[in-house]
A and B are shown apart, each in its own frame.
Chain A
Amino acid sequence: MNEILISPQVSLELFLSSLVLLFLSFALYHTLYILLRYDKNATNALQYELEKRSLLTTTIIKVALLISIFLFILFVLSIDTLAELIPGAMCGAGVVNSGIYGSLLIALKFIVIVLAIFWIQVDEEDQKAKGFPYFSLKMYLYIFLYLLIALSWFLELNFFMSLSVEEPVLCCSNLYTSQTTSFMLGMSIEEIVVAFYITYLFILLATYLKKKVFLSLLSILFLYLSYITIVYFFSTYIYELPTHKCPYCILAKEYYFIGYFIYGVLVMANYYVLYGVVFSFKEHTKSKIITAYTLFVVLVSFKYIYYFLSNNLFL
């Protein structure tokens, strides 16, 4: 028996996610049932019954979202405690890197949360509007969401099983390399940071002009850029240590949990973009997108600018 699997946090994590998957499967059965029989124009008793069935999916998703957010926090906390058991791992990042699919799993959990919030929003819009305009979107989106959650469950199981308490992990030595790595199109990190700010300005412009396609492409680019810049550039200023390149430790107590705010704002920003692109692009959506992105940029750049002002030099 693997010692990792028996630790309380991990067994709870697996138990809860399995339970959620079980209930979501139940909802999936109803969703497929509805999709096969749904007829927009019919007004018979069957269609009313289908509507009632769709309420179940909504309710289960709401509870599942609540649990997913909880599990995400638990996941972050529990891999931090597992670092004690795994030789060579200094913090959660080492544990994430030591198991297979570690980083993929975190990214997937992130996407699932954004999509689940979005799904609930679609559902609300659908209930409000006349004639269920987003009904099939909602149903297909649910199937997609289900597949993602099932995948993340599978990855999580594999991840925890692959963790070994005997083999040492390379951990931060991967992140600590001093050689200059090129990321996108052979750009150096300074160029990426410039690209990050330029993309931010373009996003503001696209939001202001309400260019939906442009905005959605830009936000995907921005998500990628912000991951790279946080890991390799901004985090070093938060830690005030040029060799500490870690996306994970900013969630820790030592840095006043700033990471939760940074990632939380990023989730909200992407969610508003998704909302604005799919539904009508109203004035308040516009201001929300602008506020969220600006807040994010301010949060990550604050330490960087502060460091420069107080020391008159860069790391």
Chain B
Amino acid sequence: MSMLSRLNFLLLLLLNYKKRYIATFLLSSGLIAILASVLFLSSSIQEELMSTLENQADFTVQHYKSGHLLNTPEKWVEEYLDIPGVSKVQGRIYGTHYYEPKEQHFMLVGLDMYDVQIVKGMQKLINTLDIEKFLERKNMIIGSGVKDFFDKYHYRKYYIFRPPDRTKEKVYIYKEFPKGSDLLTNDMIVMDMPLARKILGIEKGYVSDIVIELSNPDEYQKVYEKLIVSHFDTRIITKKDIAKHYTKLFNYKGGVFMALYIFAIVTFLLLLYQRYSMVESLDLKEIVILRSTGWSIEQIISFKLVENFIVVLSAYLIGVILAYIYVFFLDAPLLRDIFLGSANLSIHPQFMPYIKPLDLLILFGIFVLPFLLAVVIPVWKLCVKDMSEMIR
């Protein structure tokens, strides 16, 4: 029999005996869909964070003394500007505002509206603003998480901050951050720098930290060394450090899930093994017929393996498609909380469709291949049974 006619025969068999495989097929596609959504979600978030990292400064210098994070002296800005290879240095003002009754944190960021921002996301925001109008009175721009929160507690037009010097600061809501930037701006409040400085209680001559941009990325190592020796009470965070931290974090989250998942797979495979070991009359009949029409045992074994392979492969495809719909069209309800954390303001991000080829390979490897291995022995056992005994 030629390859093609054999395949045709196989598909006919599969169509005729749908019942035999329906349970395996459904269970397999469900299992694949779960793991696939975790992997897709994790790489999508990771990719988004990495792409925003591109816009970050090359170095961030913090004042770190005896294990405490302190405000950074502003005069360091001038010092760092003297290092050759450094193109731009900027002091930043930011901090968290804590809303005690509900135990919520907001990220408060102060921007110097007339300066060019190193962090490019912020620069984009400023470019869309009418600065004169924004600075007319005390205004702020808020993220969608903050907006929801303010609406809930009836701060529709303004919010009153209480700075550490016991005064009151009434700040008006100017506008919201655009949708789609939720992952980063969800709990963010942006306002003018002097105002933020007052609300956060940062004295004159100090900033929260200092960001540094290089003119030539190849001088990274040299500048890094100079930064280290410039002051001994600093903590220097590099772009690479952050990227590595993200990779570690997502590897960890995905990996823990996967380690647990392997047990589920093993259980499923054991079930599968059991199911195949219990010889059904239908299977027996089929094999007897095939053998009496002159098929060799070897042919039947590979035929059966291909049959199983087709079933599990279609389950794989269906599972991946289901996961794609779940993550990128429905934005992964429930599952996203594991990755994004739901303790603070709730986030409703839209995940951008992004699939790593390695993820598809991992899915294939963790399910399709063990599946094949699990059916090898039962199929063999079935095929080598004594013919005369089987007919009886």
Contact = CB atoms under 8 A, between A and B. Distances in A.
Interface in A83-117: 84-85
A7 interface: yes
Contacts of B247: 84-85
B377 A56 contact: yes
Given A6-B251, A23-B377, A74-B362, 7 more contacts: A8-B254, A15-B262, A15-B366, A52-B297, A55-B298, A77-B358, A84-B243
Contacts of A62: 302
B50 to A, nearest CB: 10
B252 interface: yes
Contacts of B380: 55-56, 59
A16 B301 contact: no
A98 B361 CA distance: 25
Interface string B296-321: 01100110010000000000000000
A77 B376 CA distance: 28
Contact of B251 (A8, A16, A71): A8
Interface string B348-390: 0000000001100110111001101100110110011000000
Q: Is the interface of A mostly helix, strand, loop or mixed?
A: helix
Interface of A: 3, 6-9, 11-12, 15-16, 19-20, 23, 26, 52, 55-56, 58-60, 62-63, 66-67, 70-71, 73-74, 77-78, 81, 84-85, 127, 165
Interface of B: 39, 243-244, 247-248, 251-252, 254-256, 258-259, 262, 297-298, 301-302, 305, 357-358, 361-362, 364-366, 369-370, 372-373, 376-377, 379-380, 383-384
Contact of A12 (B258, B302, B377, B379): B258
Nearest to A58: B298
Contacts of B377: 23, 26, 56, 60
Given A19-B373, A55-B380, A70 B305 contact: no
A15 B261 CA distance: 11
B39 A85 contact: no
A289 to B, nearest CB: 27
Contacts of A8: 39, 251, 254-255, 258, 362
Contacts of A6: 251-252, 255-256, 259
B262 to A, nearest CB: 5
9 contacts: A6-B252, A6-B259, A7-B255, A8-B39, A8-B254, A11-B262, A52-B384, A59-B376, A60-B376
A52 B379 CA distance: 13
Contacts, number: 94
Q: Is the interface of B mostly helix, strand, loop or mixed?
A: helix
Contacts of A59: 301-302, 305, 376, 379-380
Nearest to B366: A12
Nearest to B256: A6
A87 to B, nearest CB: 8
A17 to B, nearest CB: 10
5 shortest A-B CB distances, which residue pairs? A6-B255, A52-B384, A7-B251, A56-B380, A8-B258
Contacts of A127: 298
A12 B369 CA distance: 11
B369 A81 contact: no
A37 B361 CA distance: 42
Contacts of A58: 298
Contacts of B305: 59, 63
A84 B244 contact: yes
Contact of A77 (B251, B298, B361): B361
A267 to B, nearest CB: 20
A179 to B, nearest CB: 24
B338 to A, nearest CB: 15
A175 to B, nearest CB: 20
Contact of A16 (B39, B254, B369): B369
A84 B247 CA distance: 8
Contacts of B297: 52, 55
Contacts of B243: 84
Nearest to B358: A77
Contacts of A3: 248, 251-252
B370 A19 contact: yes
A84 B373 CA distance: 33
B373 A20 contact: yes
A67 B243 CA distance: 32
Choose among B251, B362, B370, B372 the residue with the greatest number of A CB atoms under 10 Å from its CB: B251
A190 B238 CA distance: 43
Contacts of A66: 369, 372
Contact of B373 (A23, A52, A78): A23
Given A8-B258, A11-B259, A59-B376, A85 B248 contact: yes
Contacts of B373: 19-20, 23, 60, 63, 67
A74 B376 contact: no
A84 B50 CA distance: 12
A71 B373 CA distance: 14
B384 A63 contact: no
Contacts of A63: 305, 369, 372-373, 376
B301 A12 contact: no
A158 to B, nearest CB: 20
Contacts of A11: 255, 258-259, 262
Given A58-B298, A59-B301, A63-B373, A12 B362 contact: yes
Nearest to B368: A70
Nearest to A165: B248
A71 B370 CA distance: 12
Contacts of A60: 373, 376-377
A70 B366 CA distance: 11
Nearest to B251: A7
A25 B138 CA distance: 75
Contacts of B301: 55, 59
A161 to B, nearest CB: 15
Contacts of B361: 70, 73-74, 77
A56 B377 CA distance: 7
Nearest to B381: A56
